[in-house]
Amino acid sequence: MSAVTLDTGPTVARLSARSGVRTARTVALKVVTAVLVLIAAASVTFFAQLLIPGDRATTILNLKTGRAQTYSPSELAPVKAKFGFDHPVLVQYLHYVGGLFKGNLGTSYTQYRPVTQVIGSEIVPSLVLTLLALVVAWVLALTVTLLTVKRGRVATALGSGWESLTASLPPYWIGVVLLVVFSVELRIFPVIGGDGVSGTVLPVLTLAIPLAGFLGQVTRDEFEKVLDQPFITTARTRGMGDTAVRLRHALRHSVIPAITLSGWALGALLSGAVIAENIFGRPGIGQVLVTAVNTRDVPTVSGIVLVVAAVYVVANLLVDLTYRLVDPRLGARS
Amino acid sequence: MTALSVPPTRAWTLDRVSGLRARPGTVVALAVVAFIVLAALVPGLLTSHSPNAIDLQHSLGKPSLAHPFGTDAAGRDLFTRVVYGTRQSLGIGLGATALAMFIAIVLGFSAGLAGGWVDVVITRVLEVAFAFPVLLLALLLISIRGPSMGTELIAVGIGSAPGYARMVRGQVLNVRESGYVEAAGALGHPRRTVIRRHLFPNAMRPLVAVMTLGVGQSIVWASGLAFLGLGVAPPSPEWGALLDSGRDYITTQWWLEILPGLLIVVVALAVTSLGRTLQHRLEGASR
Amino acid sequence: MTVLNARTTASTRANTPATTDTGHQAGDALLTVENLRVSFGPAEVVKGISFTAHAGRCLAIVGESGSGKSVTARTLVGLTGPGSRVQADRITLDPGSPGEGDLTALGERAWRGVRGKEIGFVLQDALVSLDQLRRVGDEVGEPLRLHGWGDRSARTERVVELLESVGVPEPEMRARQRPYELSGGLRQRALIASAIALDPRLLIADEPTTALDVTVQAQVLDLLAASKARGTSIILISHDLSVVARLADDVAVMRHGEIVEYGPTRQVLRRPQHEYTQALLDAVPSEHTRGTRLVRGDAPAAPRKRRPVDRGRPLLDARNLTKVYRGPDGVDRTVVQDVSFELFGGETLGIVGESGSGKTTAAKIALALLAPEGGEVLLRGAAWSTLTQRQRRPLRSRVGVVYQDPLSSFDPRWSVGRILGDALSRGPKPPSSKAETRDRVFRLLEQVGLGAEHLDAGPLRLSGGQRQRVAIARALAPEPELIVCDEPVSALDVSVQAQVLDLLTDLQDDLGVSYLFISHDLGVIHHMSDRVLVMKDGKVVERGTADEIFTRPQHAYTQRLLTALPRLEQAS
C-alpha cells in the first residue's frame, strides 16, 4: 500500500508516533527483564556452588591430588585467596554477579584458569551447530507441512506420521543411527569429523530432524485450524486458488506458534548439541562440559549453564521482536 | 534434548496436542505399555535367560533367535538385560514425573489461586527456571552431587517441573474464570467448597494426559544422561546404562547400542501416542 | 429419486414466486437454481430446492440453524467443502458468463474466474472474515489483484474509492490499518467493499449483520439496499425475519434442507401459507406479542394470567451504582456510572443496550458477584452489596441467575441430576435424603418441561434449548425471589427462543418470581418487560414502562435505536 502516501493525514502521524513510543517502551522493558532474568540465573549458579558438600578449598586440593584428605590452614590459605573464599559470602556473590558484566565467570577448580578462557573458543562451533540445526529444522518442517497438510488422507497421514515419529527420536539415538549408517556402513562421512563441512552435516541432522518433527506438528495443527477460518473462505470467494490461499494467507498465521517456540528450541538445541558433539567427536562446549561434570569442576559447569541461559534469553528476546513483525496484533494489544 | 519435551511456552500447548487426531496405533501403544509394565513387575516371565549369566564364549554375538538383541562383551543376553533394566528405568521415569508434578501442582495452584504478588513471584521464578534447559540443569546438579540414580531422578524432576507448573497455573486461571465457578459462587457455596468440588478436579483433568507424556519424556532424559556416562553406571541393566556400555561398539557391533535405544524410542512413542489419545478424549469430553 | 423427493421438487416449483407473471423485470432472471441437492456422506442437507435471483432485487433465504441455508450459499460459489456431493438440474448465471453460464459444469480454474468477479460473497463477523495480519486495503483490493484489474497504483486508488463508497471515513488511513483496529461496523463495511470491488452482478450475503449492534446493522442493511438499487442482485442468508423484512423482495423459507415457502416478501410475511412460516413469525417477540405466549400451535393467543406486582417496598433497590475498570494501558474506564433502579416483587425489569453499554456489569453488581466502586444494592430493604461474602452466603438463595451460555456455566463433569441436586441443597429447605433430592429434581425438570430421562445426562449431550431449561431449573431450585437473566436467549434459534421465553413467563405467572432481564434485543425486551431501562456507555439514558419507552421514546438515543430496529411490518 505504498502509494497511499499522498495524504497520510494528521491522524496517521499521531497514531504511528504513539505506537512508536509504545513499541520503544515495550522493547526497553523486555531488555531490562532479560537482564534481570540473567542476574537471577547467575544467582542460582552461584548458590549451586555453595551447595558442594564439604569445604570447597579442600575439595579443590583433593581434585588436584586425587586423594581425599584434610589439609592444614596454611595449605588451604592460598587456595582460598585465589578463589576468593576468604571474603564473606555476600561479597563473593556481588563479585560473581558483578563479574558477569565484565565477562568474568569465575575460576575453574581443575584448570586454575578463568572459566571464560576454558569455554572461550569452544562456544563458537556449538553456536554454529545450533543455529544451522534451527535453520535446517525450519526448512524441513515447512517443506513437509506445506506439502502434506490437508492434501488428502494419504499425504496427511504420511506427513503427520513422519512428524510424530521424528519428534519422538532422542538425539543420542538418531545420532548413533546416522553415524552407523553414513559413517560406519556407507563411509560417506568420517567417524570423527571435526568441525569442517563433513563433520557438521550429521550433527546438524541429528539435532534438526527431531526439532523439525516438533515444529512441523505445531505448524500443521495451526495450519489445519487456520484453513477452517472464515477469512480463508473469504479469500476463496474472491477467486483465490488453493496454493495462493495457503501461501498468502494461511502460512503467515500458522507459523506464529512455531516462531514463539523457536527461542525455547534454541536452548534445547544447545543441550542437544552436547550430546551430538559427544557422539561425533565434534569440538564444542559438549566435550568441555562432560569433562567438567566428570571432574566436578562446578564453576566451569556453571559458566556453561549461564552462557546457555544467556543464549536462551537473547533468543527469546529476538523471537519476541520477530513475532511482532509477523503478528502486529501483539503490539496493538499490549 | 528431544523435541518431545513439554515446551515451556504459552498456554496453547495443551490445545495443540489435543488437536491431534486419536491415532490408529492406540492398540499397538497399549500393547507396548503392557509389555513394559509386565517387564518391570515380573521380568522372569518374558525371558528365560538370567541378566547376569556370563558366557565369554558367546561374547558380542549378533542378534539371533536365541539372543534377539545379541550378546554383550561378557556374553550376557542383551534382550534379557533390557527386560531386567525396565524396572529401574520405569522407576526413574515415574519418580521424576511424580516429583515434577508435585512441584508443579504446588507452584501452579499457589500462583493461580492466590494471585497478586504470589503469582508475580512464582511466574518470575518460572521464567528464570526456563532459562536452564533440563539436561544442563541436570549436569549442574550431577557436578555438585556426583552421578547417582537419585541425583538423576531429582535433576530430571526439577528440570521438567517449570513447564508443568506453568501449565497448571494456566489451567487454574482458566477454570477460575469459568462460568461454572461463578455459578457455584452465585449459589452461595463457600470458596473452599468451590475449589474442592470444581476448581481442583477440573484443573487437574488435562494433567493426567500430560503426566503420561511426562513419564516417556523422563525416561528419555534420564537415558540421555547415562549415555553421556553421567547417569546410572554399568554394569546395571538400566536402559541408559546399557546405552553407555554399548557406545564402545558403535563402529563394530552397532546393535549393542541401537537396539536398546530403539526400545526407548518405541516406549517413548507408545507413551506419547497414548498420552495424546487421552488428552484428545478428555478435551473432547469437556467441550 | 424417491417418491418423497419428487414430491418436494414439485411443491417447490409450485411455490415459485409470481414475479415473472407481473412482468416486473421479467427478463432479468440472473441466477436460476433448479432441484439443487447437497449431501455430505450419507446425510443430505439440501434436498432439491429451486429458486431464482433477479437483477436489482434481493432474495432472502431464511431458516434456523441446520436448515441448509449456508450450505446453499456456499454451493453457489462452488465452495461447498470437501466431502460434499452437489447435484442440480440447473444452476445458471445468465447471460454471457464463463461456460455459457452453466455453473454445474465449471472446473476449479473457471470457478476462480467467477468468484469475486461475477459473484461477490460477504460472510458474517468481519473480525474473523478478514485476514487479521494484513492491511484492510490489501484485503479490500485482493479481488482486484486476483482478477488482474489495473496496476498497483490504480488498485490503491480504487480501494480508497471503494471504502469511501461504503461510508468508511478517512479511507486512506483505514486502508493502512489492520482489521482489528476498526470498529465492528467499519469492518463489515470493508468486507462488503471487498465483495463489491469488481461490481459483481450477484452479491451473496451470509448473515451479514449477525453480531452487529442494531444501529450498525441498520447502516449495513442500507448499504446493501444501495447496492441493490444500482442493479446488483442480492441473495441474503439470514435467520432474522425482521432483517429480511427490511431488505428482501422475495423470501424462501428453508427447513431441514427444503424450501417450505417461497414468494414475495410481503406475501410470505403477511399471509404465510405454510404452518412453519406462521410459527416462525409468531415466535418473533415484539410489542404485539406482549402478554401472550409465543408458541401458539392452533390455539388462539391466550393472554397471560399475571400475578399482581407488589408495588410496596422494592425487592431489589440499586442506588447510584458506579463501576470503574482499569484497562491494561493504565487508563480507568467507567463502565457503569450512577445507575439506579428499583425492582418490585413479581415484576420484570428489562435492561436494554448495545455492546459496551454496561448492562452485564450492572447485572453482576446486582448479583453481588462484583463490588461497585460507588453506590449500593439493597435486597428487601436490607444491605446486600455491602455485606461480607460470609454474611451474604445464606442470602444467596434468594437471587438466582441464568447466563447466555448455559454450557459454560455447568461443570463439565457433572450430570444434570447432580447440578440440580447441588442447587437444591442451597435452598431454604434442603432435601434431607437422597430419595427426596431425586423427587425434587424430577419435579424441577418437569417444571421446566424436561423429562426424567435427562437426569443422568451430561450437559454436553443436551441441545441448546434443553441446556437453557436446565439452567433455569438450577436458578429455580433454591426458590429465589429474583432471577437475573443475562441475555438468556441470545444464542438460541428463534423457535427455541420462543419456547424459553414462554417458559420464563409461565414460571412468573405460577410462582410470582421477579426477573431482572438483560438483553440487546429490543423485541425480546418489549415482549418480556414491565418496565425498561435503556443504557448507553454505562449510563441510564431513559427509563419507563415498556409501552412508554417503545411508543413515546424521549431520549434521542432511544429514538435512534427504535428507528434502526428492523420490523416485520417493513416488508415491502
Q: What is the length of chain C? A: 572
CA distance C367 to B47: 68
Same domain, C321 and C445: yes
Burial class (CB in 10 A: 0-12, 13-18, 19+), B34: exposed
Among A154, A150, A161, A167, smallest CA distance to A254 is for A150
Same domain, C140 and C246: no
Among B203, B205, B215, B201, smallest CA distance to B156 is for B215
Q: Is B73 on the interface with A (CB under 8 A)?
A: no
| Residue C304 belongs to some domain of the structure | no
Is the pLDDT confidence value at C298 over 80?
no
Q: What backbone torsions phi and psi does residue C195 show, to the nearest 5 degrees? A: -70, -30
Q: When comparing pLDDT for C541 and A31, which is higher?
A: C541
Confidence label for C95 from pLDDT (cuts 50, 70 and 90): low
In this prediction, residue C99 carries a pLDDT of: 54
Neighbours of C167 (CB within 10 A): 17
Nearest CA in chain C to B199: C411
Is the pLDDT confidence value at A16 over 70?
no
CA distance C244 to C450: 33
Domain ranges of chain B: 72-286
User: Residues of chain A whose C-beta is under 8 A from some C-beta in C?
Assistant: 1, 3-4, 6-9, 11-12, 229-231, 233-242, 244, 249, 252-253, 326-329, 332-334
Q: What percent of chain A has pLDDT over 70?
A: 92
Query: Pick from B179, B180, B187: which is nearest to C396 by CB?
Result: B187
| Residue C303 belongs to some domain of the structure | no
- Helix spans in C395-553 (H): 416-424, 434-447, 464-476, 494-511, 522-528, 546-551
Q: When comparing pLDDT for C232 and A26, which is higher?
A: C232
A210: chain B residues, CB-CB within 8 Å = 2-4
Same domain, C237 and C91: yes
Is the pLDDT confidence value at C147 over 60?
yes
Peptide bond into C394 cis (omega under 30): no
| Residue C477 belongs to some domain of the structure | yes
DSSP secondary structure letter of residue C83: T
Tell me if B16 and A221 make a contact (CB, 8 A cut-off): yes
CA distance A36 to C44: 62
Is the pLDDT confidence value at B16 over 50?
no
Q: What backbone torsions phi and psi does residue C125 show, to the nearest 5 degrees? A: 55, 85
Confidence label for C396 from pLDDT (cuts 50, 70 and 90): very high
**B184-199 average pLDDT score:** 93
**C411-418 average pLDDT score:** 92
A238: chain C residues, CB-CB within 8 Å = 115-116, 121, 142-143, 146, 194
CA distance B50 to B69: 14
CA distance C283 to C296: 9
Burial class (CB in 10 A: 0-12, 13-18, 19+), A103: exposed
pLDDT per residue over A273-308, tens digit each? Answer: 999 998 888 888 988 899 888 888 888 999 999 989
Is the pLDDT confidence value at C62 over 90?
yes
CA dihedral B198, B200, B203, B204 (to 10 degrees): -130
CA distance A217 to B277: 15
Locate C549 and state its grid cell: 419507552
Give the strands of the sheet with C233-238, arranged side by side. Answer: C119-122, C202-206, C233-238, C58-62, C250-255, C258-264
Question: Looking at the whole model, is its pTM more than 0.90?
Answer: no
In this prediction, residue B283 carries a pLDDT of: 67
Domain stops at, among C264, C282, C300: C282
Distance from CA of B14 to the nearest CA of A (A): 11
Is the pLDDT confidence value at C1 over 80?
no
Q: Is B201 on the interface with C (CB under 8 A)?
A: yes
Question: Does the predicted interface ipTM exceed a cut of 0.90?
Answer: no
Q: When comparing pLDDT for C295 and C448, which is higher?
A: C448
Q: What percent of chain B has pLDDT over 70?
A: 90
Three-state SS across A126-159? HHHHHHHHHHHHHHHHHHHHHHHCCCCHHHHHHH
Neighbours of B61 (CB within 10 A): 20
Cα angle at B222 between B219 and B223, to 5 degrees?
85
Tell me if A334 and C77 make a contact (CB, 8 A cut-off): no
C167 Cβ contact partners less than 8 Å away, ≥ 6 residues apart: C189, C219, C223
A249: chain C residues, CB-CB within 8 Å = 131, 134
Q: When comparing pLDDT for B154 and B19, which is higher?
A: B154
Is the pLDDT confidence value at C359 over 80?
yes
CB C274 within 8 A of CB C83: no
A76 Cβ contact partners less than 8 Å away, ≥ 6 residues apart: A55, A57, A58, A61
**B197-203 average pLDDT score:** 93
CA distance B142 to B211: 25
Is the pLDDT confidence value at A123 over 60?
yes
CA distance A228 to B23: 21
Tell me if A332 and C131 make a contact (CB, 8 A cut-off): no
C563 Cβ contact partners less than 8 Å away, ≥ 6 residues apart: C218
Same domain, C469 and C551: yes
Same domain, C359 and C467: yes
Locate B206 and state its grid cell: 488435562
Strand partners, C61: C237, C252
Tell me if A4 and C108 make a contact (CB, 8 A cut-off): no
Q: Is B56 on the interface with A (CB under 8 A)?
A: no
What is the SS3 assignment for A88?
coil
Same domain, C541 and C482: yes
What is the SS3 assignment for C299?
coil
What distances in angstroms separate CA C256 from CA A277, C45, C64, C272, C493, one per listed residue?
65, 7, 9, 18, 14
CB C217 within 8 A of CB C564: yes
Chain B adjacent subunits, 3+ CB pairs under 8 A: A, C
Same domain, C374 and C441: yes
Cα C92 from chain centroid (whole Å): 32
| Residue C101 belongs to some domain of the structure | yes
Domain stops at, among C232, C259, C282: C282
How big is the B-C interface in CB pairs under 8 Å?
Answer: 59
Distance from CA of B192 to the nearest CA of C (A): 12
pLDDT per residue over A169-179, tens digit each? Answer: 888 899 999 98
**C223-243 average pLDDT score:** 93
pLDDT per residue over B40-81, tens digit each? Answer: 888 888 887 777 777 778 777 788 877 788 887 777 888 888
- For C348-398, the DSSP string reads EEEEE--TTSSHHHHHHHHTTSS--SEEEEEETTEE-TTS-HHHHGGGGGG
Q: Is A298 on the interface with B (CB under 8 A)?
A: yes
- Candidate ranges A184-198, B117-131, C93-107; pick with highest mean pLDDT: B117-131
Q: Ramachandran region of residue C91, left (φ > 0), alpha (ψ -120 to 50) or beta?
A: beta
**A156-164 average pLDDT score:** 88
Distance from CA of B202 to the nearest CA of C (A): 8
In this prediction, residue A75 carries a pLDDT of: 82
What is the SS3 assignment for C534?
strand
In this prediction, residue B45 carries a pLDDT of: 81
B123 Cβ contact partners less than 8 Å away, ≥ 6 residues apart: B111, B169
| Residue C474 belongs to some domain of the structure | yes
Q: Which domain holds residue C233?
A: 2-118+200-282
Neighbours of C332 (CB within 10 A): 10
Strand partners, C91: C33
| Residue C17 belongs to some domain of the structure | yes
- In 3-state terms chain C splits into helix, strand, coil percentages (rounded to 5) of 40, 25, 35
In this prediction, residue B217 carries a pLDDT of: 87
Is the pLDDT confidence value at A9 over 60?
no
Is the pLDDT confidence value at A17 over 70?
no
Q: What backbone torsions phi and psi does residue C43 show, to the nearest 5 degrees? A: -90, 120
Confidence label for A19 from pLDDT (cuts 50, 70 and 90): low
Same domain, C50 and C142: no
Which fold, A117-333?
Answer: MetI-like fold (1.10.3720)
Distance from CA of C131 to the nearest CA of A (A): 6
- pLDDT, chain A, mean: 84
pLDDT per residue over B245-268, tens digit each? Answer: 888 888 888 888 888 889 889 988
Same domain, C417 and C558: yes
User: Grid cell 524396572 — which residue?
Assistant: B87
Chain C adjacent subunits, 3+ CB pairs under 8 A: A, B
Q: How many domains does chain C fold into?
A: 3
CA distance A98 to A35: 12
Q: What percent of chain A has pLDDT over 90?
A: 24
Distance from CA of A133 to the nearest CA of C (A): 29
pLDDT per residue over C154-172, tens digit each? Answer: 999 999 999 999 989 899 9
Q: Which amino acid is at C312?
A: G
CA distance A164 to C561: 55
Is the pLDDT confidence value at B126 over 50?
yes
Query: Pick from A41, A169, A294: which is nearest to B2 by CB?
Result: A169
Is the pLDDT confidence value at A228 over 70?
yes
Confidence label for C328 from pLDDT (cuts 50, 70 and 90): low
Confidence label for B94 from pLDDT (cuts 50, 70 and 90): very high
Q: What backbone torsions phi and psi does residue C93 show, to the nearest 5 degrees? A: -115, 110
In this prediction, residue B104 carries a pLDDT of: 95
Is the pLDDT confidence value at A235 over 50?
yes
- Cα R_g (chain B), whole angstroms: 22
In this prediction, residue B208 carries a pLDDT of: 83
Q: Ramachandran region of residue C464, left (φ > 0), alpha (ψ -120 to 50) or beta?
A: alpha
Same domain, C218 and C171: no
Is the pLDDT confidence value at C356 over 50?
yes
CA distance C497 to C491: 8
DSSP secondary structure letter of residue C100: G
- pLDDT, chain C, mean: 88
Q: Which of A330-334, C223-227, C429-433 has the lowest mean pLDDT?
A: A330-334
pLDDT per residue over C100-118, tens digit each? Answer: 678 888 888 889 989 999 9
- For chain B, the DSSP string reads --TTS---S-THHHHHHHHSPPPTTHHHHHHHHHHHHHHHH-GGGT-SS-TT---GGGTTPPP-SSSTT-B-TT--BHHHHHHHHHHHHHHHHHHHHHHHHHHHHHHHHHHHHH-HHHHHHHHHHHHHHHTS-HHHHHHHHHHHH-S-HHHHHHHHHHHHHHHHHHHHHHHHHHHHTSHHHHHHHHTT--HHHHIIIIIHHHHHHHHHHHHHHHHHHHHHHHHHHHHTT-SSPTTS--HHHHHHHHGGGTTT-THHHHHHHHHHHHHHHHHHHHHHHHHHHHHHHT-
Query: Pick from C397, C411, C426: which is nearest to B202 by CB?
Result: C411
Confidence label for A207 from pLDDT (cuts 50, 70 and 90): very high
User: Grid cell 415482549 — which residue?
Assistant: C527
CB B42 within 8 A of CB B35: no
CATH 1.10.3720.10 spans which residues of chain A? 117-333
Same domain, C404 and C264: no
In this prediction, residue C10 carries a pLDDT of: 36
Same domain, C205 and C180: no
Where does B72-286 sit in CATH, by number?
1.10.3720.10
In this prediction, residue A63 carries a pLDDT of: 78
pLDDT per residue over A49-65, tens digit each? Answer: 888 877 888 888 887 77
CA distance C398 to C482: 6
Q: Which of B125, B126, B140 to mutate to test the interface with A (most CBs of A within 10 A)?
A: B140
CB C102 within 8 A of CB C110: no
The CATH number that applies at residue C266 is 3.40.50.300
CA distance C63 to C237: 8
- Cα R_g (chain C), whole angstroms: 26
Cα angle at A246 between A240 and A251, to 5 degrees?
135
CB C137 within 8 A of CB A4: yes
What distances in angstroms separate CA C28 from CA A118, C228, C231, C236, one per listed residue?
86, 13, 10, 18
Tell me if C123 and A234 make a contact (CB, 8 A cut-off): yes
**B156-165 average pLDDT score:** 92
